A and B are shown apart, each in its own frame.
Chain A
Amino acid sequence: GNSVTQMEGPVTLSEEAFLTINCTYTATGYPSLFWYVQYPGEGLQLLLKATKADDKGSNKGFEATYRKETTSFHLEKGSVQVSDSAVYFCALSPGSGGSYIPTFGRGTSLIVHP
């Protein structure tokens, strides 16, 4: 079956530091890949997505590139802010003809200190 593995947290950084959160996946076919963010006390919301190999998703200074050769979709940001403190989830949805069930990683908590 499909699976998503992301680095365990918490990841603790100082403001303006560079962020990488690793995500690798196992899937058949051509899945779409997502990063969701969950702020304290809220539901998940889509941060960015990529639907095919070599696509780069970007939003709010975050970026991730769909790498089929390494089955990875690492999240990066050049300069984090305290307001980026949240839990980040990597996820995939099966390609055309697949099931309706997405697969989520376990989440990585990010804590940014001033």
Chain B
Amino acid sequence: NAGVTQTPKFQVLKTGQSMTLQCAQDMNHNSMYWYRQDPGMGLRLIYYSASEGTTDKGEVPNGYNVSRLNKREFSLRLESAAPSQTSVYFCASSEVSGGTYEQYFGPGTRLTVT
């Protein structure tokens, strides 16, 4: 049981390049999330998917797109990377039950945009 996996672990991009961050979970959870973590800013939600087939914007969606490929996989795409997108990106999944749910996080992708 791997939990939540993310690839790649590290990535360096030049301004304007594009890339896709991959996330997969093997816990059969309905909900999946993408966060970014910056020093002093805590976690900020980029996009989430409450269930397969749905996606919604979070707090900081500009410059990103997502795809819920199936129940297991939720990818995050940067179409034209900017230095402001240098951050650590975390994927998470959870199962909502009666309004109580805990999140399971992946190990993160450390992205630098030069």
Binding site for B on A (CB under 8 A): 30-32, 34, 36, 42-46, 49, 51, 89, 91, 93-98, 100-102, 104-107
Contact = CB atoms under 8 A, between A and B. Distances in A.
Interface in B86-100: 90, 92, 94, 96, 98-100
A8 to B, nearest CB: 10
Contacts, number: 62
B40 to A, nearest CB: 7
16 contacts: A34-B102, A36-B103, A42-B108, A43-B105, A43-B107, A43-B108, A44-B90, A44-B92, A46-B104, A91-B103, A93-B101, A96-B99, A98-B99, A101-B58, A102-B101, A106-B41
Given A32-B99, A106-B40, A106-B42, A100 B48 contact: yes
Interface residues of B, number: 25
Contacts of B100: 32, 51, 93, 95
B103 A102 contact: yes
Contacts of B102: 34, 46, 49, 93
Nearest to B30: A100
Q: Name A's interface SS.
A: loop
Given A32-B99, A96-B99, A106-B42, A101 B48 contact: yes
B75 interface: no
A108 B17 CA distance: 34
Given A44-B90, A93-B100, A101-B58, A107 B105 contact: no
Nearest to B49: A100
Contact of B45 (A43, A89, A101): A101
Nearest to B103: A102
B12 interface: no
Contacts of A102: 94, 101, 103
